[in-house]
Amino acid sequence: MEVHHNVSINKIAWLKIPNPGVIKNLFIPENRAELEELCCKLYSEKKQFDVIGHTSNILYYSTYNPENVVSTRKVNFYSVHDNVIECDCGVNVSKLSREMVEFGFEGFEGLIDLPGTIGAAIFGNAGCYDCSITSLLEYCELLRPDGTIVRLSKDDLELSKRSTVLKRKEVDGIILFAFLSKRKGDPTKLQAVADINRQRRRITQPGPAKNLGSDFASVGKVTLKYRILMLLCRVYYLLYYLKIHLTRRQITSFILKIVGHRELIPYLEWGWNRFIWKDDSAFVLFNAYKKLYLSFFQNDRLEIIEKK
Ligand SMILES: Cc1cc2nc3c(=O)[nH]c(=O)nc-3n(C[C@H](O)[C@H](O)[C@H](O)COP(=O)(O)OP(=O)(O)OC[C@H]3O[C@@H](n4cnc5c(N)ncnc54)[C@H](O)[C@@H]3O)c2cc1C
C-alpha cells in the first residue's frame, strides 16, 4: 500500500484550492483486503480518518488539515458474474458504465460521464439522466466502526434526493464493495441513448474542471422573492430585447445586478446551482453565493461536502 506523509490537499483534491492544507497521512490501499484491514485498524485505534474516492463532491477549505485520509481510487476491481456485477468501492463509475453499455447491460446509459467512484455514488445517491448506481444496487457491504461488516440493500439506505442514511450520518461506515444487477438489453440501443446523454451533458453543463457538479440538492422551495425577481427579469427582456426565451446566463446576471451581487456574475454562468471556482476570489465569494442561493430556494441543502 502506498503511504504518503505531509502531502498537500491539492494532491488529492478534484478542485484545487489556493493555500491548501496538509494531510498528515495519506493511505492508498491497492485492493479490497488492504482497505478493509487498514480501516479496521484505524477504527480499532480510534483514529479519525476520511475516506475519499475521486473528491469530485468535496470542497476543501485551506484551514482543513486532516490527520488521516484513505483513498479508495486503487480499490477498483470489478467482475461480471452470471446475474450480477461485483464492484469494489473505488471502481470508476464512468469507466464501468461505458464498458457495461458496450456489453449491453441496462441502467448504465445515463452514467457514462458521471465523475467519481461506486462507493461514493452509493453514499450520496448520485445519478443522472434517469440512471443511478443505487437503482442498480442489489446490496453493498459496509464496514462498521466496531469492525463488523453489514449488508445494506437499497431499502436500508433510505434513499432521498442525492442522499442516504450514510450521507445524513444516520449510519457510519465504509462501503467496501457492491453487487449491481445485470439486466441484458440491446447494446446498439443503449449506446445510442448513452451518446444522446453525453451530448446533453456537453450542451447543458460546464466541463469537469473547476466545479463540483450541482452545489445544492435542488429540493428547495422557490421563494416569493425569487419569483418576483424572475418576473421583473422577463418583463425587462420583453421590453428591451423582445426575447421571450431567456438563457440561464441572462436570468442570473439580471437578478444578480438587481440584488447587488454583480461580483457573482462570472461564477454563475451555468446557472444558480453550478458555481465555477474560476479563480482564487471564487473561494471567498462562495459563502456569499450560498447565502444568496438559500434566500431564493428555501430549505435546500448543500449537495457538496465541505471540509473546513
Ligand atoms: C463536473 C461534475 C459533474 C457532476 N455531475 C453529477 C451528476 O450529474 N449527478 C450527481 O449525482 N453528481 C454529480 N457530480 C457529483 C459527483 O460526481 C458525485 O457526488 C460522485 O458520486 C462523487 O464521487 P467521488 O468518488 O468523487 O466521491 P468523493 O467526492 O471522494 O466523496 C464524496 C463522499 O463520499 C464518501 N465516500 C467515498 N467513498 C466512500 C466509501 N467507499 N464508503 C463510504 N463513504 C464513501 C466520502 O467520505 C465523501 O463524504 C458531479 C461532479 C462533478 C465534478
Would you list the domain boundaries of the chain?
2-71, 78-204, 221-307
What ligand 1 atom has the least distance to the C-alpha of 14? 53
For residues 120 and 96, the answer to whether their CB atoms sit within 8 Å is no
Q: What is the pLDDT of residue 300?
A: 79
Residue nearest to atom 3 of ligand 1 (CA): 213
How far, in Å, is the centroid of ligand 1 from the Cα of 140? 17
Q: What is the pLDDT of residue 192?
A: 96
C-alpha–C-alpha distance, residues 167 and 77, integer Å: 24
2-71: what fold? 3.30.43
pLDDT of 6 above 90: yes
92 lines ligand 1 (CB under 6 A): no
pLDDT of 242 above 80: no
Read off the pLDDT of each residue in 113-142 and give the average, rounded to a whole number: 97
119 lines ligand 1 (CB under 6 A): yes
**pLDDT-based confidence at residue 240 (cuts at 50, 70, 90):** low
How far, in Å, is the centroid of ligand 1 from the Cα of 279? 22
Q: What is the pLDDT of residue 247?
A: 80
C-alpha–C-alpha distance, residues 233 and 217, integer Å: 25
pLDDT of 245 above 80: no
pLDDT of 79 above 90: yes
CATH number (3.30.465.10, 3.40.50.720, 1.10.1740.10, 3.40.190.10) of 78-204 reads 3.30.465.10
Q: Give which of 119, 111, 123 is closest to 157, Cα–Cα.
A: 123
Q: What is the pLDDT of residue 151?
A: 97
Residue nearest to atom 24 of ligand 1 (CA): 116
Please give the mean pLDDT across all residues of the chain.
Answer: 94
132 lines ligand 1 (CB under 6 A): no
Tens digits of per-residue pLDDT, 97-119? 999 999 999 999 999 999 999 99
Residue nearest to atom 29 of ligand 1 (CA): 55
